[in-house]
Amino acid sequence: MQKITIDISKAESFLSAGAVKGLASNVLSQQQKLHDKSGAGNDFLGWLDLPSSIAADHLTAIKETAARLSAQSEIVVVTGIGGSYLGARAVIDALSDSFDLLRTNRKAPVVVYAGQNIGEDYTYELLDLLKDKDFSVVVISKSGTTTEPALAFRLLKGLLEKKYATDEVKNRIVAVTDKSKGALRTLADREGYQTYVIPDDVGGRYSVLTPVGLLPIAIAGVDIEQLVQGARDMEAATAPNVAFEENPSAVYAAVRNLLYQQGKKTEIVVNFNPKLHFLSEWWKQLFGESEGKDNKGIFPAAVDFTTDLHSMGQWIQQGERNIFETVISIENVDKKVEVPTDKDDMDKLNFLAGKRVDEVNKMAELGTLMAHVDGGVPNIRISVPQLNAYYLGQLIYFFEKACGISGYVLGVNPFDQPGVEAYKKNMFALLGKPGFEKETADIRKRL
């Protein structure tokens, strides 16, 4: 099988000669810190050898649970936020029919999401939809007390209890949570829900290849064995014994840090395939939450081209030169649509007649790359042979490994997220949560 590749030539031209090779020894030493677990956050490195450690019977059990939920459900609601939902959604959206909700001949239930926001309109509309549908819930939370998913699950559980008998309710809920502690674990054990464990040493944004991601992905009908195999092969391709120039994660980490040192403070991940929108959202969390600390870090942004060329293209072409682009390019597209000839040619597109839509898209990609590089935007290109589970598995592990290395090169702990607690403290104080009386009083003085 092929593997994803990285082209840094359109970024190296913005760097001094030999700069990438000059950083290689540092990058490899930071990678070694990951593998010998001597760096910051080393108690959250379970993802590092996760692909090669996943047993076949574990995947079989997940597939059996997915089949059970699928057989009894028109809709499965995945309830989680951040890493508890973005990885699964990235894969599901990438590999599902874009118009699956409108199909009547679906092979898998529709997967929808809850607990990823606190929008009342969204919540009302979801509950209203589910009233007349057979549905099940996969609730994903380490603690069971994270506000957004806990609130959504309380509402979904209540609706299930109105619709179904007690024994059926417990068969329509699967909890992915801590192995021994936390509110959700306590509830699941008491009510008899089937459970899967979030490993203690895997943080949320690195958890796609745990049951956090694998169960929802399997419910959607995606081949999780191929997803894991792709990740397993990329684990081998980025192992410590692989030479720097052959290790795509190491090369990517080096180039983005060199660009950052030159004042390129924003990285824009670009796709030319709308199915990759949520992969970009997952990537934003992975790098933003991993590197954005100690007043450091590349700001992760994302655009969907060619759509956003008509909104963000002007800024990228001629705005402040503090950016670089990382383009995820899908080499081969399976589904074929050719441009027809039109006898009147009123839109002046007959010059495209007989060409595939993907060829038009590829030329837009190439033309954009040339224009942006000419406009002073360094470009890293990640080529993915095909959009399928195997190559998505490679891509996910590639980014995870690169993120760990890059964070260490930057000099931060890429496995914690202390800053996300600040807003929660204020929110709880404003809502009058018990135990936050001092914070409530302090906030009232400020308002």
Residue 429's pLDDT is 67
| Residue 67 and residue 81 share a domain | yes
List C-alpha distances in Å: 226 to 53, 56, 133: 15, 12, 31
For the segment 207-234, the average pLDDT, to the nearest whole number, is 97
In this structure, is residue 334 part of a structural domain? yes
Residue in the block written with tokens 């682009």: 325
Looking at 200, 223, 246, the residue that finishes a domain is: 223
**CATH for 324:** 3.40.50.10490
| Residue 285 and residue 148 share a domain | no
For the segment 179-197, the average pLDDT, to the nearest whole number, is 96
Catalytic member of 131, 133, 355, 424: 424
Percent of the chain with pLDDT over 70: 98
| Residue 54 and residue 22 share a domain | no
In single-letter form, the type of residue at position 48 comes to L
pLDDT category at 94 given cuts 50, 70, 90 is very high
Catalytic member of 289, 291, 325, 365: 289
Tokens of 202: 């895997």
Query: Residue 326: which residues within 8 A CB-CB, separation 6 or more?
Result: 252, 256, 267, 268, 269, 270, 379, 380, 381, 382
Residue 1's pLDDT is 74
For the segment 87-114, the average pLDDT, to the nearest whole number, is 91
| Residue 195 and residue 115 share a domain | yes
Residue 104's pLDDT is 80
Provide the angle, in degrees to the nearest 10, between the axes of the packed helices 86-95 and 277-291: 160
Instruction: Please name the helix (run of DSSP H) or strand (run of DSSP E) that holds residue 90, with its range, or none.
Output: helix 86-95
Residue 95's pLDDT is 96
CA–CA distance, 267 with 301 (Å, rounded to integer): 6
Residue 26's pLDDT is 96
Query: Is 424 assigned a catalytic role?
Result: yes
**Domain of 113, in residue numbers:** 50-223
Strand-pair partners of 49 = none
Tokens of 414: 């890429």
In single-letter form, the type of residue at position 359 comes to E
CA–CA distance, 394 with 232 (Å, rounded to integer): 8
Residue 65's pLDDT is 98
| Residue 169 and residue 243 share a domain | no
Residue 436's pLDDT is 73
- Read off the pLDDT of residues 386-437 as tens digits, 9 standing for 90 and up: 999 999 999 999 999 999 999 999 999 999 988 776 777 777 766 677 877 7
Query: Is 289 assigned a catalytic role?
Result: yes
| Residue 283 and residue 194 share a domain | no
In this structure, is residue 440 part of a structural domain? no
In single-letter form, the type of residue at position 399 comes to F
In this structure, is residue 60 part of a structural domain? yes
| Residue 352 and residue 278 share a domain | yes
Residue 170 reports pLDDT greater than 80: yes
Residue 427's pLDDT is 75
- Read off the pLDDT of residues 245-259 as tens digits, 9 standing for 90 and up: 999 999 999 999 999
In this structure, is residue 400 part of a structural domain? yes
In this structure, is residue 154 part of a structural domain? yes
In single-letter form, the type of residue at position 41 comes to G
- Lowest-confidence region among 94-108, 166-180, 238-252, 258-272: 94-108
Minimal CA–CA distance to 153: which of 179, 204, 192, 116?
116
Residue 429: φ, ψ to 5°: -65, -45
In this structure, is residue 255 part of a structural domain? yes
Residue 283's pLDDT is 98
Provide the angle, in degrees to the nearest 10, between the axes of the packed helices 277-291 and 389-410: 20
For the segment 201-229, the average pLDDT, to the nearest whole number, is 97
Antiparallel, parallel or unpaired: β 379-386 and 135-140: unpaired
- Read off the pLDDT of residues 346-391 as tens digits, 9 standing for 90 and up: 999 999 999 999 999 999 999 999 999 999 999 999 999 999 999 9
Query: Is 310 assigned a catalytic role?
Result: yes
For the segment 144-158, the average pLDDT, to the nearest whole number, is 94
The domain total for the chain is 2
Residue 417's pLDDT is 86
Catalytic member of 120, 162, 310, 438: 310
Identify whether the C-beta of residue 392 lies closer than 8 Å to the C-beta of residue 91.
yes
- Read off the pLDDT of residues 28-59 as tens digits, 9 standing for 90 and up: 999 999 999 999 999 999 999 999 999 999 99
| Residue 234 and residue 218 share a domain | no
| Residue 87 and residue 17 share a domain | no
Minimal CA–CA distance to 228: which of 96, 328, 91?
91
Looking at 223, 257, 281, the residue that finishes a domain is: 223
Instruction: Please name the helix (run of DSSP H) or strand (run of DSSP E) that holds residue 31, with its range, or none.
Output: helix 19-36
In this structure, is residue 150 part of a structural domain? yes
As a whole number, the mean pLDDT across the chain is 94
In this structure, is residue 429 part of a structural domain? no
Residue 446's pLDDT is 76
| Residue 132 and residue 214 share a domain | yes
Identify whether the C-beta of residue 410 lies closer than 8 Å to the C-beta of residue 258.
no
What pTM, to 2 d.p., does this model score? 0.95
- The C-alpha torsion from 296 through 300 and 301 to 304, rounded to 10°, is 170
